[in-house]
């Protein structure tokens, strides 16, 4: 039986509507399960304040960060229910999407891709919640202007930084806001002992910087030093070894401060590439060997060294 173009389009639209409905049901189920887990975590808060990884669960975050964030916003005294997150791609996986939908926080998200931001604006949650999505290539020079011109200043509840590049330098430059919680992506390939970051380049692009995809970001010790300068306390990393958590000192309550030496987590995910862009699946110390000899900035000596 031959179908007309009109019939095919109608059937396609019907199938798409069913898929969207199914996706919404799955998300609703995940949100319900997450809130049940969060209730259990609240009862276990005496253990979680010593080890935030115990609060992990995933709804929209890449790993278990949704759970950590839910615990922290419930435990801490946060008056301003706002967030800023940049490096979100199309917001399918992000640290603040569950915060937006589950807790009705208002927020600003930014990504270098205009296509990604347009995709966000086409989703129902964009009109259902108070979210601003801005396409922007973020640098240390423009970050404060991007924040303020989009209506944010002073205290915000949470800042999440994940631009796979000069994250350290961008956080260092931020002075337009004072977040209660800061989540900063780190590069565990740099280890947990030296205070290192890639040297600053406004046009830094991870895939162009080195084919391996391993040369980007900063180490946990470098971020801890910067946090101390800015008035924050390091409270731990997620269990997958890519996000470090900091809380402003005046809001810490009984959360247990950590050191890079005792709370650093080595990532086990294997995202390295060869010169042709193919995954190589190397891990551990082998990853450092791939980027040996590249320039690295020591934030304690303020000098360029070699990895």
Helices 65-75 & 5-43 angle (0-180, nearest 10):
50
Residues 121, 133 contacting (CB under 8 angstroms): yes
What's the pLDDT score for residue 45?
A: 81
- The low-confidence residues of the chain, meaning pLDDT below 50, are none
Whole-structure pTM value: 0.90
Domain spans, the chain: 5-306
In terms of Cα–Cα distance, which of 306, 297, 146 is closest to 225?
Answer: 297
C-alpha atoms less than 13 angstroms from C-alpha of 285 in its C-beta half-sphere: 0
The CATH homologous superfamily for domain 5-306 is Vaccinia Virus protein VP39 (3.40.50.150)
C-alpha torsion 108→176→245→259, nearest 10? 170
- Quick: pLDDT tens for 127-144: 999 999 999 999 999 999
Whole-number Å distance between alpha carbons of 93 and 52: 20
Residues 307, 287 contacting (CB under 8 angstroms): no
What's the pLDDT score for residue 17?
A: 52
Edge-to-edge strand list for the sheet holding 177-185: 131-135, 106-111, 82-86, 154-161, 177-185, 243-248, 232-237
C-alpha atoms less than 13 angstroms from C-alpha of 114 in its C-beta half-sphere: 0
SS3 sequence of 279-304: ECCCCCCHHHHHCCCCEEEECCCCEE
Is residue 127 classed exposed, middle or buried when 0-12, 13-18 and 19+ CB atoms within 10 A define those classes? exposed
Largest CA distance in the chain: 75
Q: Name the CA radius of gyration of the chain, rounded.
A: 20
Look up residue 272 and give its two tokens: 């390295």
In terms of Cα–Cα distance, which of 236, 213, 215 is closest to 297?
Answer: 215
Cβ neighbors of 9 (< 8 A, separation 6 or more) are none
What's the pLDDT score for residue 285?
A: 84
Residue with structure tokens 């994250």?
Answer: 167
DSSP, collapsed to helix, strand or coil, labels residue 148 as helix
């Amino acid at each position: 039986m031959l179908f007309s173009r009109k019939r095919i389009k109608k059937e396609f639209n019907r199938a798409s509507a069913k898929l969207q409905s199914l996706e919404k049901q799955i998300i609703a189920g995940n949100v319900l399960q997450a809130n049940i887990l969060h209730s259990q975590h609240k009862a276990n808060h005496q253990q979680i304040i010593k080890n935030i990884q115990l609060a992990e669960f995933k709804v929209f975050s890449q790993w278990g960060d949704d759970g950590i964030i839910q615990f922290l916003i419930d435990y801490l005294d946060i008056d301003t229910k706002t967030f800023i997150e940049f490096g979100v791609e199309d917001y399918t996986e992000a640290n603040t999407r569950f915060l937006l939908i589950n807790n009705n926080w208002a927020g600003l998200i930014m990504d270098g891709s205009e296509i990604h931001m347009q995709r966000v604006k086409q989703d129902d949650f964009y009109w259902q919640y108070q979210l601003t999505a801005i396409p922007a290539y973020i640098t240390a020079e423009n970050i404060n202007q991007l924040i303020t011109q989009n209506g944010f200043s002073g205290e915000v509840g949470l800042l999440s930084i994940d631009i796979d590049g000069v994250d350290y330098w961008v956080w260092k430059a931020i002075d337009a806001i004072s977040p209660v919680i800061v989540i900063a992506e780190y590069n565990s390939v740099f280890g947990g002992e030296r205070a290192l970051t890639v040297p600053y380049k406004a046009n830094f692009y991870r895939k162009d910087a080195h084919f391996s995809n391993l040369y980007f970001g900063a180490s946990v010790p470098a971020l801890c030093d910067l946090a101390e300068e800015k008035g924050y306390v390091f409270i731990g990393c997620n269990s997958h070894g890519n996000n470090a958590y900091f809380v402003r000192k005046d809001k810490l309550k009984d959360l247990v401060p950590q050191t890079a030496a005792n709370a650093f987590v080595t990532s086990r995910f294997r995202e390295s590439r060869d010169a042709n862009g193919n995954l190589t699946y190397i891990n551990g110390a082998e990853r450092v060997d791939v980027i040996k000899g590249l320039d690295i900035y020591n934030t304690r000596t303020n000098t360029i060294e070699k990895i």
